[in-house]
Amino acid sequence: MDPLGNPFAPGAGSQPPELAGRDHILAQADIALQRVLLGKQDRSQIMLGLRGVGKTVLLNKIEQLAENHGHIASFVEAPEDLGLAQTLYPRMAQVLRRLSAMESAKARVVAGMRALRGFAVAFKIGPLEVSLPADPEPGVADSGLLEADLADLFVRIGEAARSAGKGWALIVDEVQYLRTEELAAVIVALHRASQRGLPVVFFGAGLPQVARLAGEAKSYAERLFTFFSVGALESVSAKQAIVEPIRAGGETITSAAADRIIRETQGYPYFLQEWGFQTWKLAQRSPISEDVVERATRMALEQLDNGFFRVRYDHLTAGERNYVRAMSQLGKGPYKTAEVAGIMKEKITALGPRRANIVKKGIIYSPGHGKLDFTVPLFDEFVRREASNLDSRT
C-alpha cells in the first residue's frame, strides 16, 4: 500500500484523520464561544485526562473554532520553569495589537496597553514596544500581586474586544504545571471578566488532578468551569477512528483486524494512531488482515518503547525507577501507596519525597487519598517489559 497515502498521524497533538467520539465536547465549546460573543455568559471549560487521550488535539480544534467565530485565540502551554506572567504577557500584547487595527476599539486598546505596560514593570518583564501611546496607568495592573493585576488585564482586554465586536479565547495546555497562586489568579481574572459580561472565555487541558487543584485554588472554581473527562474511546468510536481513515484512503480492513487494534490499544487515541500507522505501513493489499496487525503490534510497541514511554522513563532517577517498578508489579492501577511501600520494604513516609518528585515530573498522579496511578496509559506494561529486559541482561 502507498506509504505516502498513510492517513494516520501518531504525533504529539497532531490532528487525527478521524476525530471520533469527541463531538459532545466540541459542541459545548462551540456553543460557549458563540454565547460569549452575544454577550451571554457560559462556563469556561477544562479537559481532564491521561497522556495520549487527545486533549491537545481538542484544544487545537477549539482554537480553530474560536477564530472562525470571531474570537482572537491565544494558545499557550503552561511551562514548568517560567512564570505565568511571563508566559501570558506576549499573548496579551498580541491580542491588543490585533484589536488596535479596529477603529471602534482604539480607545479601549490604549487603556489595555497602559495596563499591560504597568504589568510589565511590576513583574519585571521588560518594555512593551508598540506604536500606540502606552504609558503606565498608575494603580492599574501594577501592584505586583498576580491575582489582582491579571484581573485588571482580563477586564481591559475584554472591554477592548467587546468594543471591536470580538472575543478573547485563552487556551492553556498542561494546566497542572501552573502554581497554585497562578491558577488562582486565572480563576479570579475569569470570574471578574464574567461578572462584567465581557467576551473572555478559557479552555484548558491537563492531567486528572487539575479539577482538584482548581477547587483548592478557589472554592468557586466548580461553578466557573465545566470539567470534561477525556479518556479512551469506547469501542464504536475507536473502530471508527481506524476504519474510516483506511476507507477514505481507498483501502479496507477486516473487522477482526480492527478489533485486534482496539484490544491492543485499549481505545486510547494516540495508540490508535500509532497502530494504524504501523498497520498501513506493513499491509501489502486490502483487506488488511489480523496477521498484519499482529506484526504491526510489535513495531508499534517498539516505537512507543523507544520514544513515547522512554522519554518519560529516562527522566527518572535510579531510585524513582525502583518506585515505578514496584507500582508496575501490582498490575493495573490505581495503586495504594502502602502496597507500593510494602513491595519496596520501606516506610510510606520515607518514600514521600521520592513519590513527590515522580509526581512533579508528570509520570504519576494521585487519583485519591493514599492512591497513585500512571499519567501515561499502558506505562505499567512498558515498565514490566523494561524490568524483564534488564533481568535478561544481568
Asked if residue 9 has pLDDT above 90, the reply is no
Strands 371-374 vs 335-336: parallel, antiparallel or unpaired:
antiparallel
Which of the four CATH numbers 1.10.240.10, 3.40.640.10, 2.60.40.10, 1.10.10.10 does domain 310-393 have? 1.10.10.10
pLDDT at 132: 45
DSSP tag of 347:
-
* Per-residue confidence band for 128, with pLDDT thresholds at 50, 70 and 90: low
* Per-residue confidence band for 131, with pLDDT thresholds at 50, 70 and 90: very low
Average pLDDT, stretch 73-84?
91
Residue type, 368: G
**Calpha distance 14→73 (Å, rounded):** 19
Per-domain residue ranges of the chain: 23-229, 234-305, 310-393
Average pLDDT, stretch 246-267?
97
374-389 pLDDT per residue, tens? 999 999 999 999 988 8
**Calpha distance 188→181 (Å, rounded):** 10
Average pLDDT, stretch 158-170?
98
Mean of all residue pLDDT scores within the chain:
93
* Per-residue confidence band for 17, with pLDDT thresholds at 50, 70 and 90: confident
Strand partners, 250: none
CATH superfamily to which 23-229 belongs? P-loop containing nucleotide triphosphate hydrolases (3.40.50.300)
Do residues 336 and 371 make contact, with C-beta atoms less than 8 angstroms apart? yes
Residue reference for cell 491575582:
147
24-63 pLDDT per residue, tens? 999 999 999 999 999 998 999 999 999 999 999 999 999 9
pLDDT at 358: 96
My answer on whether omega of the bond before 334 falls inside 30° of 0, hence cis, is yes
234-305 topology per CATH: Helicase, Ruva Protein; domain 3 (1.10.8)
Q: What is the dihedral of CA 19, 24, 28, 34, to 10 degrees?
A: 60
Quote the pTM value.
0.91
